[in-house]
Structure 1
Amino acid sequence: MSSSTPSLLEFEVAGTGERLALADFTGMVAGYTGRDEHAVREHIDELAAIGIAPPPAVPMFYPVEASTFTSAESLQSAGKATSGEVEPLYIRHRGRYYLGLASDHTDRELEAVDIPDSKRACPKPVSRQVVAIDDLEAFSLDGARARSWVDGVLYQDGTLDNLRTPANVVGLFLERHGIGDGDFACLGGTLPVIGGKFTYGTHWRLELELPSGETLIHTYTIHHEGA
């Protein structure tokens, strides 16, 4: 399955009114992006204990169809045991970088069998608004606060200080996947779930508050096919 199926993803750049239109871009989800590699390894061991196979590399990059990225607020999912996660979204368009907001909505039943397939099985909701990144190497999300709610209940809440830096995630992705100068959209990792248990809800709200004071917000509703 190709991760660069022709698609169209549109954004508005905060504070400028500029609009971006990504077409024929590469879609990717980064996993195991914690800055503390020892803690990441412990998490991998915990997942292995419940039957989820360890990744062949850390961090891990999972290709997903570009067509699964969407800013629509009403979405369909085949599986019923699905849940989202708030994540930074790293975008490159015509050589320039941007930060958006995304949800790594995943089929949790399928995840226990095949992680890459579980990533591809669900849409990847993204914010319509993004923030321009002038210098990727200098750009930091330390101090940025990410939160998610499911059906009105707080689900994740914390800063992104413990994630690998945007430059590190993007650099490793480009090093391993060799897409040249092409456009891409890559989810950059997430926070632990409050209480440590997935919730298979319907209405999702995501927020990413930046140290600059700007806040990216996205909401969406998942409808289960056949329900």
Structure 2
Amino acid sequence: MEIFYPDLTAVREVIVAGWAGRDAADVQHHIDELAALGVAPPSDVPLFYRVGHETLSTAPVIDVLGSQTSGEVEPVLLRTQSDLLVGVGSDHTDRESEAYSVALSKQVCPKVSGRAFWRFADVADRWDEMVLRSFTAERTPYQEGVAASLLNPLDLVARWEQREGRVFGPGSLMFCGTVPTLNGIVRTESLTVELSDPRTGSVLSHQYAIRELPVVA
């Protein structure tokens, strides 16, 4: 399968789709779980968070403030001048600020993307079979699930376009939701994220390390 390496410095809009599960009952269960921890429920489902395009990073190391952050594997959808591409990334999030503002928690950490992408049309017919995985340091399994558990990226784009009243145009990039952790959210020194195609054995992968900056007053 052909691999593309688009110019991600051309991205001018970054959108993070939250609460993007396909099963409404599962989404509501997750909302209720977070509400019990003090996280306010979303105003809409799915909910689209805008973050600064300068937060997008393909670097092998990202800097975060303090120890209360973690990443999560997500499909990454990118509209270029000529194509719709899909890759893999991590919606790295500040968990401490998430308790009082999910939008803020999305903005304060880099949004990580791999450099390699596939043409979405090349995998669209088997998208639901795609597998999302992530691994913490020493390749300990952290997340695993199939794309069928999430809203289809084209569905997400259509919903975003309807709410925004404009098209998902060239230079737009969307993080398309994540799958559950295997044993709860944990802090890690590095994270590897993967999007794999079981039919062909093709895998898109990206690894990054997390450097924690001291919290000073």
TM-score, with length taken from structure 1: 0.86
What CA deviation, in whole Å up to 9, does each residue of 1:168-223 have, x standing for no partner? 1111122222443342110001110112x211111111111024432100000010
The residue aligned with 1:185 is 173
The residue aligned with 1:141 is 127
Give the CA deviation at 1:126: 0.5
The residue aligned with 2:66 is 79
SS in 2 for 1:164: coil
Structure having the larger proportion of residues in helix: 2
Q: Percent identity?
A: 35
Report 1:26-65 matches (<5 A): 26-65=13-52
* Partner Cα separation in structure 1 for residue 152 and residue 99 of structure 2: 28
What CA deviation, in whole Å up to 9, does each residue of 1:8-62 have, x standing for no partner? xxxxxx6266644552521010011111112211211121111110000000111
Which of 129, 151, 168 is matched with 2:155 structurally?
Answer: 168
* Partner Cα separation in structure 1 for residue 205 and residue 122 of structure 2: 23
The residue aligned with 1:220 is 208
Which of 77, 82, 89 is matched with 1:102 structurally?
Answer: 89
SS in 1 for 2:148: coil
Shift in alpha-carbon separation, 1:128–1:34, aligned structure 2, 3 A: same
Amino acid at match of 2:71: G
Across the aligned residues of Structure 1 and Structure 2, the Cα RMSD in angstroms comes to: 2.0
* Partner Cα separation in structure 2 for residue 104 and residue 52 of structure 1: 17
* Partner Cα separation in structure 1 for residue 144 and residue 4 of structure 2: 29
* Partner Cα separation in structure 2 for residue 187 and residue 139 of structure 1: 20
* Partner Cα separation in structure 1 for residue 165 and residue 51 of structure 2: 16
2:196–2:202 contact (8 Å) kept in structure 1: yes
The residue aligned with 1:11 is none
1:141–1:166 contact (8 Å) kept in structure 2: no
* Partner Cα separation in structure 2 for residue 92 and residue 163 of structure 1: 20
The residue aligned with 1:7 is none
Q: Which has the higher contact order (CA 8 A, sep 6+)?
A: 2
Aligned residues: 212
Give the CA deviation at 1:80: 1.6
* Partner Cα separation in structure 2 for residue 182 and residue 18 of structure 1: 15
1:140–1:166 contact (8 Å) kept in structure 2: no
The answer to whether the aligner puts 1:92 opposite 2:74 as a matched pair is: no
Structure 1 unaligned segments of length 5 or more: list them. Answer: 1-13
Shift in alpha-carbon separation, 1:141–1:79, aligned structure 2, 3 A: farther
The residue aligned with 2:53 is 66
TM-score, with length taken from structure 2: 0.90
1:104–1:187 contact (8 Å) kept in structure 2: yes
Report 1:95-134 matches (<5 A): 96-134=83-121
Structure 2 unaligned segments of length 5 or more: list them. Answer: none
SS in 2 for 1:171: helix
SS in 2 for 1:194: coil
